[in-house]
Structure 1
Amino acid sequence: MKQFITETMSFASGILSHISEGMVHSVYRKTINLRMGSSLVALQAAGSPLSPVSLITGLDVGEMSGLPVVPGDQVFVDKKTIILFSKSSRIIFRFDEAAIYDSLLRDYAVPLPLPAIKESLLQSSSGGLTELFSKALLKNPSDFAKGVFLAVAQKRMEDARKEVLDICYDKAAVTLAGMTGLGMGLTPSGDDFLCGVLAGLLFSGQWDHPFAQALRQTISRRLGDTNDISRTFLSCALSCHFSRPVKELPLASGTTEILSSFGAIGHSSGFDTLCGIYYGYTLCLGQEDVPGK
């Protein structure tokens, strides 16, 4: 059974170029995560948003979910193909003609469309951290866990902002990195938010700010506090690799485009990341109009 990978990003391409053996880590309806060395890469259905670890296939969701693959299956990679050995078949994905997009976000100040970003977060119906923009902490008893999560997240964001303003950078880093693993979902909202914060610090040209340095070190120490998939995305962010929607955010034409591109990333992951970008971009610049205020 031979299939094709149509798109990927430079981070995932780099992994395939130097690791030749691995195994299937996990299988979802439209994604097969492969453990390659210490990293994950993700075979995904056509039309999926490009993350740093994406390997977009030509298969639709139904075809992807029908592949006879289970966790633990062996994986081999050569210069042109990824081969999955399942009990019933050998599945080959050719990647030598895949379009490769740059996942590296450089450290230089880039103006972001902040009004459009904030409006997108206000209009988002995904839930998650976007609710902090309207202060809509849930009071329905059935949503108690979510309400607690939002309250904890809001306090950490407020406290970290104050600590940065007070030049208590190490303390602020510990406060904010406490969101690692916080929340529910395949990638907890706190992790998506922190990935966004790191992108925001890059976009604002503050990557070498003392707070940014302290935050990176603290998140690195806490990577064990979350699951394998979230740990992969946090590790990518720490090495300045991000999804295509994040990379192209400075070029967004307005609210509609931002809603579309970030809304395609998981249930709330895209907007949790966008919330982090907004927060991180404004934090070290001394602006106070941030989520959680």
Structure 2
Amino acid sequence: MFEKAILFDEALRETLFSTSEWSVQSVFDKSINLQNKKKNELILVCGLDYPKLPHAIYVEKECLQSLIKTTMKNERVKIAGGWVRIGNTQLSLHNSDHYSSVFESESKLNSASVEKLFHYLHQMTDLNGFTFSLSELGYVKDFNSRWELDALKKIVCGNEREQTSGLDYLLGRGKGLTPSGDDMLIGCLAADLFYKRLDSFFEETLNLKLIGEPVRTTTVSIHYLNCALQKKWNEPIHHLIQVLSKDSTENEIEEVIQSIIRIGHTSGLDMLTGFVATIILFDKN
């Protein structure tokens, strides 16, 4: 059966138009994860109801449903010359639309938009994966009251020993396909696009922990943390950076926050927690 992909991440072009062996890493109700032989890279196959994500291929709903029904975990997948063969399905990437997940802002935070952001967040009661709301984020002096925020404070404000300690605490902490601590780290890295204060030691240490033994977190989480280190982000994060780079309206800010909240069960809220806490910490130091 031949199918055509609707859309794919430009970061995948070299992989998709060369030849390599992959396998099915996981099959969910609305998506499939493919994994390369080295088990250090994933490709998400999903429908257009997902936002644009790093390393993703988007297909029609009927195609996705068929793949989910017929695909088995650990099944071999062949990628060659713009075709992805999954079971009996030959998925073509030729003439498909594409987008770029790579994004590195050179802009500065717009103070008026940040003020609107905090005004909106202070009204939120949704609980993140560590069961506290964004409205509880106050001043730096309050960060010691929660282990997760204290760990983030060590990463953002501490020396190398403290940064390592903070990473050890957050990495892999929490439940789910992408644990809450990892999502907070992704938010922290996204906020640093405005500041560029997280140095090479932090990035190298995080990278070593992602490839070290024993494995500290989930395969999917490792993938998205690696994407963040490579400045590859999901579409809602792109939009958040963009609206905070200019004097945006309250509606624009509310819309982008809601789009992030819709990511996963609490993943979006956890990313926002890391993002907002990092802004607070950087602005107070």
Q: What TM bracket, shorter-length normalisation?
A: 0.7 to 0.9
Alignment match, 2:239: 248
Q: Is the contact made by 1:200 and 1:278 (CA closer than 8 Å) also made in structure 2?
A: yes
Of stretches 264-273 and 105-114 in structure 1, the one that deviates more from structure 2 is 105-114
Q: CA deviation at 1:192?
A: 0.9
Q: Of 174, 184, 191, which residue of structure 2 is paired with 1:183?
A: 174
1:171 equivalent in alignment to 2:168: no
Deviation per CA, 1:17-68, whole angstroms, max 9, x where unpaired? Answer: 3452211111111111001243000101231112102211111698257531
1:79 equivalent in alignment to 2:81: yes
Cα separation, 2, equivalents of 1:45 and 1:121: 33
Cα separation, 1, equivalents of 2:127 and 2:133: 12
Q: Is the contact made by 2:124 and 2:133 (CA closer than 8 Å) also made in structure 1?
A: no
In structure 2, the CA distance between the partners of 1:160 and 1:219, relative to structure 1 (3 Å rule), is: closer
TM alignment of 1:95-106, pairs within 5 A: 95-106=93-104
Structure 2 stretches lacking a partner, 5+ long: 138-144
Q: CA deviation at 1:151?
A: 3.9
Cα separation, 2, equivalents of 1:251 and 1:107: 8
Q: CA deviation at 1:180?
A: 0.6
Of stretches 174-183 and 116-125 in structure 1, the one that deviates more from structure 2 is 116-125
Alignment match, 1:23: 23
Percent identical: 22
TM-score, normalising length: structure 2: 0.80
Q: CA deviation at 1:189?
A: 0.7
Structure 1 stretches lacking a partner, 5+ long: 137-149, 289-293
Deviation per CA, 1:69-95, whole angstroms, max 9, x where unpaired? Answer: 01111111122321112xxxx012222
Of stretches 192-201 and 125-134 in structure 1, the one that deviates more from structure 2 is 125-134
Alignment match, 1:213: 200
How big is the alpha-carbon RMSD for the aligned residues of Structure 1 and Structure 2?
Answer: 2.7
Q: Is the contact made by 2:240 and 2:257 (CA closer than 8 Å) also made in structure 1?
A: no
Deviation per CA, 1:268-292, whole angstroms, max 9, x where unpaired? Answer: 1112112222233443x4426xxxx
Q: CA deviation at 1:232?
A: 0.3
Cα separation, 1, equivalents of 2:191 and 2:131: 16
Q: Of 255, 258, 268, which residue of structure 2 is paired with 1:257?
A: 255
Q: CA deviation at 1:107?
A: 5.2
Q: Is the contact made by 1:200 and 1:279 (CA closer than 8 Å) also made in structure 2?
A: no
Q: CA deviation at 1:195?
A: 1.1
Count of aligned positions = 261
In structure 2, the CA distance between the partners of 1:265 and 1:60, relative to structure 1 (3 Å rule), is: farther
Cα separation, 2, equivalents of 1:124 and 1:6: 37
TM-score, normalising length: structure 1: 0.78
